[in-house]
Amino acid sequence: MIEIIPAIDLIDGKCVRLSQGDFAQKKIYNENPLEVAKKFESYGLKRLHIVDLDGAKNGKVTNLRVLETVAKNTNLLIDFGGGIKADEDINSVFNAGAKLASIGSIAVKNSEKFFGWLEKFGGERILLGADVKEKRLAINGWQTATKIQILPFLREYFAKGITQTFVTDISKDGLLQGSSNELYEEILREIPKIKLIASGGVSKIEDVYELEKIGCSGVIIGKAIYEGRIQLEELENGKRKTES
């Protein structure tokens, strides 16, 4: 059964969405992230993906208070990312109530530190975030393109102990034009045992069913929920459908 993971992206403590990672294309959906998280929980969803966009942009965890508030007032399993660069950052994120730390840029820029965290906390608490454009990684809140190819990167990191990753196709994110199914199929052909979470482009409930058929372990959904393209009732029903 594919796991439904709603997303809350934060700027200045508010729920926002960007289009294709562009901070200039920002839309505020709700000024109270806890209210949004509680609504997700009320529909039976168990997990939440929180992205500190301020942290990703500035290189320092910024919206820790929001994480604390949501963790204290819901039972959601939270993965939190954005700006986790140093030991104090990852410790503060876990202390604030996150069950998983989503790590992207540091995994590329400082692999020694990343693998140190992986050894210390284990593969079940470290979620590798891989943001891609034309199959190459982008880091620093999608602002910096690299020449690193996604498949060799994931193969290497899986071999070194990563068990789960979410892969976001930046070219799809926020556009509601469907997810990068071919990319996900390719990854799972190459690394069939990795827990792959799809992210970006999901626009309708049928997209979720397609990702499940491909073999993705989870799907992160953001804008489609906020724009009403996917109703929370559908995710509740969809969950029952995939269980049957």
The two structure tokens encoding residue 56 = 């990703």
52, 79, 89, 131: the active-site residue: 131
Neighbours of 98 (CB within 10 A): 26
The Cα–Cα gap between 97 and 126 comes to 14
- Look at the alpha carbons of 215, 121, 129, 67 in this order and tell me if their dihedral is positive or negative: positive
Residues 6+ apart with CB under 8 A from 90: 84, 101, 103, 117, 121
9, 79, 89, 173: the active-site residue: 9
Q: For 106, phi and psi rounded to 5 degrees?
A: -65, -35
Task: Write down how long the chain is.
Answer: 244
Active site residue 9: yes
Active site residue 79: no
Helices 87-95/64-73 angle, 10° precision: 30
Residues annotated as catalytic are 9, 131
